[in-house]
Amino acid sequence: MTEWTQPDQAERFVRTYADPILRVCAAWSLSRADAQDICQDIFLTLLVEQRSFDSPGHERAFVLRCAINACKDILKSSRFRRTAPLEEAERVAAPVPGEEHPVWQAVEGLPPQERVLVYLFYVEGYSLEEAARLCGCTYAAARQRLSRARKRLRTELEVYDHG
């Protein structure tokens, strides 16, 4: 196994996980500042705890699960419910490939739970079972949410196509 120094490990975490964490936060419609805070907190946790993982996939799943949990915590917080973002129109930093494309615009309009599943399933390439586990829901719930998301996207894109 490779022996990493802490600066090497920190750089690897940023290079490997900054974009996916920011995208998960975008899927939950968090502000750029909240997304960056979550990213930093997860990196600090990884560096301080120095966890060992069975595989890179296990590490990635852990990081994304941490991001999802942190997003949910922020959305449940009283601070979030009582404040309005300063930059209301601005979303999170990490660009989604083909961001200007109508499909990605339609995905951004989905409810957060559906948007996260679409991101994990189609962009990150997780199986539906893995995506459900990362989202903390049952396989059946994930299947239903993804089905609803597809239906909404189909309807939205038909309007765009004919419009």
Do 27 and 112 meet the contact criterion of CB atoms below 8 Å apart? yes
pTM above 0.75, yes or no: no
Which is it for the CA torsion 31, 90, 36, 17, positive or negative?
Answer: positive
Question: How many residues can be counted in the chain?
Answer: 163
How high is the pLDDT of residue 91? Answer: 46
Residue 159 C-alpha from the chain's centroid: 27
Residues 6+ apart with CB under 8 A from 54: none
Helices (H) and strands (E) in the chain, counts: 8, 0
Residue 65: pLDDT band with limits 50, 70, 90: very high
Q: Residues 106-133: pLDDT tens digits?
A: 888 899 999 999 989 888 889 999 999 9
Single-letter residue type at 155: T
User: What is the pLDDT confidence band of residue 83, given thresholds at 50, 70 and 90?
Assistant: low
Q: How confident is the model at residue 100 (pLDDT cuts 50, 70, 90)?
A: low
